[in-house]
Amino acid sequence: MARFLARRLVLLAAVLLAVTFCGFAAMNLLGDPLVNVVGVLAELDCEAIAAGTAQDTAVDAAGSDCDTVAAAKAQYHLDRAVPTRYLLWLGDMLTGDFGTSFQNDQPVSAVLREKLPETLMLLVMAQIVSVGIAVPWGVIAAYRANRAFDRGSTVASFGLLAVPNFALGVVLLYLLALRWQIFPSAYESGDFASRVFSLVLPAFTLGLPLAAGYQRLLRTDLITTLQEDYVHMARAKGLPPMRIMFRHALRPSLFSVVTVFGVSTGTLIGGSLVVEQIFGIPGIGREIVTAVVRDDFPVVLAIVMVVAITFVVINFLVDLLYSWLDPRVRTR
Amino acid sequence: MKHADSTGTAADAGSSLTGADNADGAHNADNAGSASAGSPTGAGSADSGGNADGVLRRRLGTGFWLAVGWLMVMALMALFAPLLPLADPTQVAFGGPREAPSADAWFGTDALGRNVFSRTMHGARISLAVGGFAIVFGMVIGGGLGILAGYFRGLLDQAVRFAFFVLLSFPALVLAILITATLERSLLVVSLTIGILAVAPVGLLARACTLVFAEREFVAAARVMGARHGRIILRELLPNVVIPMGALTLLGMALAVVAEGSLAFLGLSVAGEDSISWGKMIVDGAGLRDLQNAAHVTMFPVSVMFVTVLALNFAGDRIRQRFDVKELAF
Amino acid sequence: MAAHTNRKRLISWCSPLLAFVVIAASCGSDDDDLRTSQPAAVTQAEAAAAAAATGGDSADTQAAQDAPDAAAAPADETDEPGQPLVAPVDTTTTTSPPRDEAAGAPAEPEPRFGGTLRVGVEAESDGLNPAANNFAVSAYVMTYPIFDPVAYWDVNGRWIPYLAESFTPVGDGSSWQMKLREGVRFHDGTTLGAEDAIATLEAQLDDPIIALAARSIFAEDGPIEQIDDYTVQYNLNEPNARFPQQVTSQLGMLLPSEWLERALADGTLNQMPVGTGPFMIESRVLDEATTLVRNPDYWAADMVDVYLDRIEIYPITDPVIAAERVGAGDLDLIVTSNADAILTMRDADGVKTFENVRSSEDFAMMNTQTAPFDDIRARRALTFASSREAYLSLIRQGTSPVAETMFHPDLIWHNPDVRQETDDPDSAAPLVAEYCGDWPENCSDGKINIELQYSGPSVSQTRIAELLIDGWEPYFNVTEQELLQDDHITEVALGLFNVVTWQQFGEADPDNDVVWVECRAISVISINWPRHCDPERDALLYEQRASDDLDRRVEIWHEIQQRIRDSYTYIFFNHTNWVIGAADNVQNVCGQSSPTGTELFCNNQGRAQLHRIWLS
């Protein structure tokens, strides 16, 4: 186990390094990093200005644009070679320094602190919704495998999986918020309860397709489990079917849901970008889209890094959990 | 997933490929599971509870042909939209604003009085072009790398697998945003971006299949007869690996279409006034007042997109069962 | 990041300018309505009387303005002595039966003290410091209750002293003395004095962005000097017969001098400014909420009743959502010019709207300093090719009336002979052919190459772009550039554009709009956005600025409208409809009066006054 753990940790470290490098490369190699950081000011010929042969366009009486460019170069270590720059940037990030947002001069870490909770709440609610729906759905479908309900639910889940998030969001918004006016049509800040309530519809938008996925997985696994010897034995002993289902079959079958938990988190994060837009939720999904449009690169990069690192770590933990649940994996 | 190395990887590959819509976890668990308790997608088929043999022998069924028919129609529409007698999709005030469907405008008109039917058909162009190009890119790059990795093993294999792993470490849409954030959003860039998303899942599948075939007698025989690597890869492995990969084409395309739609919805897909796409149309009609007074502006493109993705998923799933990928994995 | 600071500040400044520009439009209801519903007919005489009574030193200048003008004014008002320069705001009480508000004040229920007013604004403001942040409509809604501007507009569109006791012109009007009231205290307890007025203006002139507008008014050398403890003298660039109307906006909001010093050192103070107004800022969370509470020590407490206990202001970026919330009772009041939001509120039960279509205009404008629009033929061709009718019906959806010039027909300034040459695409063809013959490098396939820039991502802006392009396409190859609003305004200010859509003009007195068209506003950063300089037009602008003669001013503005039309720099689409939408229980939205009892101009370019609202 220790050896296995050690190998996994090395892999984790390597992946994290590579993932951060990808983000860094996107900023430094796709396009001119200086333009990414200071925008049009990158075109200033600061040497000529220093030599007095060109004019600074400074709008701000307080400083010159060339000072700005110099400050940005220092902040992002742009005068260093790329590998050094990467390491310095990584160091900054590890100490919580994600740079400063162009948009409002706030430190990016503050932006993250402010926006992350809403997104986390949405993701948690979406997972609760999906598991809450998928477990009973999967159990009934497996219990009545290949009967009418199962057939219908297969069609339904197939359909749900084919609806793009944004389309489902718009349809739910139309029906539940506008037509029947059960839920608010947009996010409401305010006390905890009203926030949770206004996140219900977004959580269903994200959670329903996920529930369909979980349901299919669970159903298949349950059907397999129900054919195991020990289940036959339990049945032979005359235990009530529901007891068999929940006591003996469901628990081992939940493993398979655990295995896709990591992947599904990635799907949810992607979906939250869109859903936050539809329902006006002030989370990191909306923030990153705004930041992309604004070319607010420090914010884009910080959010991508936080999301990717979280995603990697979640998958790592799921992997550990799974290998702990099913020791055979460790022999791989 | 409880099986040997290669199986596990194939399942992983599948689950990531369709992972974006979660369908695949189910497919692959099903495939990988030895007991094969039935197809999870057995809608409308008589023997959905059957065993692996049943699955193999099953005909594609009317559902499949319906799906393919729909896809053909959409593809033809997309290809020939400019030649068909459709209204000009950018013509403002084709009818009054937000008119209900009528004989002139089958899907009604949008807020600017443009013909929604014509726009939906033209919208298919970008959606399908991006979807198609992306998956082809994923096949060529991902498939190529996967086969090489699976055949040569060793360090190359390690490196390629690691690269795939890293790619999969970004939630798909987030990676796409990172790329479109830095580059001009042309048709090519958007297609490439989504194509990159397809590389890792397709690559892992190709690698897993290659591992299996590389152990087969005919490959061993070719090797014994002194065939060069290039020949073995192209003549012996590629034709076999292409089948399972091809079986996943339509599923992958469904994901690519959705991904493009999401980017368009966020305003990050192909830019320009002629770039009508389903995602753009949906967001255009999704304002509260538009939804209340003229839901059809959004609901028609939503429906067409839904049916298209459904058809891709359905047909793709049937093909996957037909050329049973699972069988190859063992 | 300082670069971005610069950009951002420029931007934020521009947006307020925008806000300035945009006053109000009349409502979708029609002119007959306007004429018959005239609440102003009742109030204008009293108001004029009150203004004369309280105006003190200003009375003489106002008398000149009062000269009747038979030709241009609406029929039933022509021979009133206190003829309004602005038309009154319409109250459309949508679904509830016609209410007393529409007719002034008489039968309203008894005012009630207490309660919290919940207000939605379309955008958050970077900060609320009038000497450091540039104010747009939203910022004005938040800051007017905190600050009393030294002067304000009365219901007829004439200036009245507000926080100041009086204004007196010196000599030909190229200097003005302002006397402040004694004993006025800021929220922090310090006493208002001449040094505060000086410190505030100096800070504003030091701010690169606020100064762009301020420098057009105040002399470069010694813009302000102290006369005594409560009197300052403003020195101007040229004689101005109505200077106080320039200090009705953020330039007229005074801050304590020592607070200003601290704010310069600590930028976070910009969020919590200190004023003299009836409300004080209690808390502010950017992008979430700003809360104001009643100032227990208000200087004018003896003169006016302040009813509300608290005002909560929420930024809600989607105007339709905000409008829905007013209908649902989750908000009490919003300000918007978005057609969908207006229609939503008109349709909603229990919501009344105060609409003003007689102030700002929506238009497209062209950069006259770069190709192809440095050539008047290209500008004229674009005008011909613009489909204004489609714009009015599809974008404005009938909520705003067509605009031929920068003045609504109800206003005395309006020149009825000026017409925009839109919706005539065939006439564009020969011009384009001629232009492309001369400048083949700016054309391809016989069409002129242009770029349309607009702010986004926004569904409504995209729609506008698609609509305009559809009309232009036969003669122009149009590429689109979508920029975030801030960047968009910055690029326009720097002259990095061909054609953009914009909203501007419509100050209560057109003299306040001079800054958008005068030659001296053109430089590296230009707020004469189209960068079109016409020295003869400038001469006219400054002549009317100095003039006391209303007839002559009207004549001059008629000529200016003609000159602006003939330069083909703007393609006017419609008069913006600025709407204050409020729940039925919100009283006294319009018809508020100054501490000295003059009725105030309501809905000035969407700037709602919240001071004296009460809830029934």
CB contact under 8 A, B174 and A178: no
Distance CA C484, CA C123 (A): 13
**C108 min Cα distance to partner chain B (Å):** 33
Q: Which two tokens stand for residue A304?
A: 């991508």
Q: Residue B219 falls within a domain, yes or no?
A: yes
Do B39 and B147 have their domain in common?
A: no
Q: What's the confidence (pLDDT) of residue A40?
A: 61
Whether B236 is covered by a domain: the verdict is: yes
Structural domains present in chain A: 2-107 (no CATH), 109-330 (1.10.3720.10)
Sign of the C-alpha dihedral computed for residues C237, C243, C244 and C245 taken in this order: negative
Interface check for A115 against chain B (CB to CB < 8 A): the answer is no
Shared domain for B244 and B121, answered yes or no, is: yes
C-alpha B314/C-alpha C445 separation (Å) is 46
B1-17 residue pLDDT tens: 333 333 333 333 333 33
CB–CB contact B170 A293 (8 Å): no
The pLDDT of residue B51 is above 70: no
Per the CB < 8 A criterion, the answer to whether C7 and A106 are in contact is no
Which secondary-structure segment (H or E) carries C44?
helix C39-54
How close does chain C come to B268, measured CA to CA in Å? 9
CA distances from C544 to A166, B40, C61, C389, C535 (A): 56, 81, 14, 34, 14
B173, B185, B317: best to mutate for the A interface, most A CBs within 10 A: B173
Q: Where is average pLDDT lowest: A61-70, B34-43, C330-339? A: B34-43
The helix/strand/coil state of C596 is coil
Asked if the Cβ–Cβ distance from A162 to B309 is below 8 Å, we say: yes
CA-based nearest residue to C102, from C24, C25, C30, C42: C42
The shortest C-alpha distance from A310 to chain C (Å) reads: 27
Residues in chain A with CB shorter than 8 Å from the CB of C4 are: 38-39, 68, 102-103, 105
Token reading at A164: 């793009």
- Tell which residue, C515, C559, C366, has the closest CA to residue C448: C366
Report the CATH number at residue B276. 1.10.3720.10
Closest approach of C23 to chain B, Cα-based (Å) = 25
Distance from the Cα of C259 to chain A's closest Cα (Å) equals 20
d(CA C210, CA A194): 40
Q: What is the ipTM of this complex?
A: 0.82
Q: Is residue B302 one of the residues assigned to a domain?
A: yes
Decide if B46 touches A, using CB distance below 8 A: no
Interface residue C546 vs chain B (CB under 8 A): no
Q: Which pLDDT score is estimated for C447?
A: 95
CB contact under 8 A, A185 and C288: no
Give a yes or no: residue B41 inside a domain: yes
Residue C604: φ, ψ to 5°: -85, 100
Out of B175, B267, B295, name the one closest to residue A174 (CB).
B295
Q: Region of C506 please: left (phi>0), alpha (psi -120 to 50) or beta.
A: left
| Residue B26 at interface with chain C, using a CB cutoff of 8 Å | no
Tell me whether C469 touches chain B (CB under 8 Å): yes
B partners (3+ CB pairs within 8 A) are A, C
Q: What is the pLDDT of residues A133-183, one digit of tens each?
A: 998 898 888 888 778 888 888 888 888 888 888 889 999 988 888 888 888
Chain C within 8 Å of B112 (Cβ-Cβ)?
yes
Residues B130 and B252 in one domain: yes
CB contact under 8 A, C3 and A294: no
Q: Do A186 and C289 touch (CB under 8 A)?
A: no
Cross-chain CB nearest to C208 (options A60, A72, A100): A60
Torsion sign over Cα B285, B288, B289, B292: positive
Look up residue C120 and give its DSSP letter.
E
Model confidence band, residue A64 (pLDDT cutoffs 50, 70, 90) = low
Please name the member of B90, B93, B266 whose beta carbon is closest to the beta carbon of C394: B93
Q: How many residues in total does chain C contain?
A: 616
C-alpha–C-alpha distance, residues A186 and A169, integer Å: 12
Q: What is the largest distance, in Å, between two alpha-carbon atoms of chain B?
A: 74
Based on the fold, state whether residues B39 and B170 are members of the same structural domain. no
The answer to whether C461 faces chain B, any CB pair under 8 Å, is: no
| Residues B26 and B174 grouped into a single domain | no
Q: Which long-range contacts (CB under 8 A, 24 or more apart) does A79-87 make?
A: A82/A28, A82/A29, A85/A24, A85/A28, A86/A21, A86/A24, A86/A28
User: pTM for the complete prediction?
Assistant: 0.80
Q: Which burial class, exposed, middle or buried, applies to A300 when counting CB atoms under 10 A from its CB (0-12, 13-18, 19+)? A: buried
Q: What is the pLDDT of residues C269-307, one digit of tens each?
A: 999 999 999 999 999 987 778 999 999 999 998 888 899
B33 & B69 share domain: no
pLDDT tens digits, one per residue of A226-259: 888 888 888 888 888 777 877 777 877 777 777 7
CA distances from C223 to A309, B6, C234, C543 (A): 57, 82, 6, 21
Question: Is residue B273 in some structural domain?
Answer: yes
Domain endpoint, select from B14, B34, B57? B57
Please report the pLDDT score of residue B13 as a whole number: 37
Answer yes or no: are the C-beta atoms of A275 and A206 closer than 8 Å: yes
B100: DSSP letter: P
Q: Give A 312-331 residues with CB within 8 A of chain B.
A: 312, 315, 326, 328
First-to-final CA distance of chain C: 49
Is B51 in the same domain as B68?
no
CB contact under 8 A, A174 and B291: yes
Are residue B13 and residue B81 in the same domain, yes or no? no
Q: Write out B236-287 in H/E/C secondary structure.
A: HHHHHHHHHHHHCHHHHHHHHHHHHHHHHHCCCCCCCCCCCCHHHHHHHCCC
Confidence of residue C28 (pLDDT cuts 50, 70, 90): very low
The one-letter amino acid code at A179 reads R
Residues B207 and B260 in one domain: yes
- Radius of gyration in angstroms for the set of CA atoms belonging to chain B, rounded to a whole number: 22
Q: Are B32 and B1 in contact (CB under 8 A)?
A: yes
In which band, very low, low, confident or very high, does the pLDDT at C254 lie, cut at 50, 70 and 90?
very high
Least confident of B14-23, B92-101, C532-541: B14-23
Whether C456 and B272 lie within 8 Å, measured CB to CB? no
Q: Residue B312 falls within a domain, yes or no? A: yes
Question: Does residue C583 have a pLDDT over 90?
Answer: yes
C108 or C593: whose pLDDT is higher?
C593
Contacts of C289 in chain A (CB under 8 A): 189
| Closest by Cα among A241, A237, A261 to A249 | A241
Min Cα distance B82 → chain A (Å) is: 26
For C347, nearest residue in chain B (alpha carbons): B289
Contact yes or no for B282 and A167 at CB 8 A: yes
- Give the pLDDT confidence score for residue C35 in this predicted structure: 27
Assess B182–A contact: CB distance below 8 Å, yes or no: yes
Residue B146 and residue B291 share a domain = yes
Neighbours of A7 (CB within 10 A): 12
Q: Give the pLDDT score at B71.
A: 94
Return d(Cα C211, Cα C224) in angstroms, integer.
Answer: 14
Q: Which of B37, B57, B77 delimits the end of a domain?
A: B57
Residue B318, domain member (yes or no):
yes
- Does C4 contact A63 at a Cβ distance shorter than 8 Å? no
Closest Cβ–Cβ partner in C456, C466, C470 for B267:
C456
| β-strand partners of C234 | C176, C224
CA atoms of A332 and B15, how far apart (whole Å) = 19
DSSP string, C521-542: G-SSS-SSTT----HHHHHHHH
Same structural domain for residues B231 and B303? yes
According to the model, what pLDDT value does residue A41 have? 66
Section B126-154 average pLDDT: 91
**With bands split at pLDDT 50, 70 and 90, how would you rate the model's confidence at B180?**
confident
The conformation of residue B19, written as its DSSP 8-state character, comes to G
pLDDT for the residue C286: 79
Distance from B188 to chain C by nearest Cα, in Å?
Answer: 18
- Whether residues B97 and C320 touch (CB distance < 8 A) is answered with no
Highest mean pLDDT: which of B288-302, C38-52, C220-234? C220-234
Which among A26, A273, A288 has CB closest to B182?
A26
Number of folded domains that form chain B: 2
* CB contacts, 8 Å: C318 with chain B: 287-288
Nearest to C569 by CA among C515, C500, C490, C473: C500
* Residue-level pLDDT at A39: 64
| pLDDT of B19 above 50 | no
Answer whether the bond into residue A136 is a cis peptide, omega within 30°: no
Q: Which of A27, A163, A224 sits opposite B33 (nearest CB)?
A: A224
Separation of alpha carbons B62 and B68, rounded Å: 10
pLDDT tens-digit profile of C476-509?
999 988 877 777 887 898 899 999 999 999 888 9
Q: What per-residue confidence (pLDDT) applies to A296?
A: 76
Tell me the C-alpha to C-alpha distance, in Å, between residue C126 and each of A64, C122, C272.
22, 13, 12
Domain limits for position B25: 2-57
Instruction: Tell if the CB–CB gap between C320 and B287 is shorter than 8 Å.
Output: yes
For residue C79, the model assigns a pLDDT of: 34
Q: How far is CA A46 from CA A50, A55, C185, C599, in A?
A: 6, 9, 49, 56
Chain A residues 60-89 with CB within 8 Å of chain B = none
Q: Which residues of A touch B306 (CB under 8 A)?
A: 159, 162-164, 167
Residue A200 has pLDDT above 50, yes or no: yes
Size of interface A-B (CB pairs under 8 A): 223
Instruction: Determine, yes or no, domain membership for B158.
Output: yes
Residues B245 and B171 grouped into a single domain = yes
Domain boundary pick from B57, B80, B104: B57
